[in-house]
Chains A and B, each alone.
Chain A
Amino acid sequence: MDVSQYLEVFIEESKEHLQALNEHLLILEKEPENENTINEIFRAAHSLKGMAGTMGYKRMQRLTHDMENVFQEIRSGKMKVRPELTDTLFGGLDALQEYVDNIVDSQDEGTNDNQDLIDKLAMELDIGLHGGSGAAAPAAAAAAPAAEKPAEPAKAEVASGITITYADHEKAAIIEGSTQGFNAYEVRVDVQETCLLKAARAYLVFKALEETGEIIKSVPDAQMIEDEKFDFSFAVVILSKQSAEDVRKRVMNVSEIKDALVEKKVFEEPKEEVKEEAAAANTAAQPGTAAPAPAQAAPAKAQPAKKAVVNRSVRVDIEKLDDLMNLVSELIIAKNGLSAVSASDMKSSTEKTNQFNEQIEYLERITTNIHQSVMKVRMVPIESVVNRFPRMIRDLSKKLNKPMELYMTGEETELDRTVIDEIGDPLMHILRNSADHGLESPEKRRELGKPEVGSIFLDAYQEGNSVIIKCSDDGGGINTEKVKQKAIEKGTITPEQAETMTEKDFIDLLFKPSFSTADKISDVSGRGVGLDVVKSKIESLSGTVECKTELGKGTTFTISLPLTLAIIQTLMVVIGEEKYAIPLGSIDTIEDIPINEIKSVEGREVVNLRGTVIPLIRLADVLDIPNVGPDGETLTVVVVSKSDKKAGLIVDSLMGQLEIVIKSIGKYISNSKLISGATILGDGEIALILDANALL
Chain B
Amino acid sequence: MIEQYIPVIAMIVTGILFGVVSVKAHEILGPQRPNKSKETPYESGMEPVASAHERFSVKFYLVAMLFILFDIEIVFMYPWAASFRELGGFALWAMLLFVVTLFVGYIYIVKKKALKWD
The judgment on whether A and B are partners is no
Residues of A within 8 A of B (CB): none
Residues of B within 8 A of A (CB): none
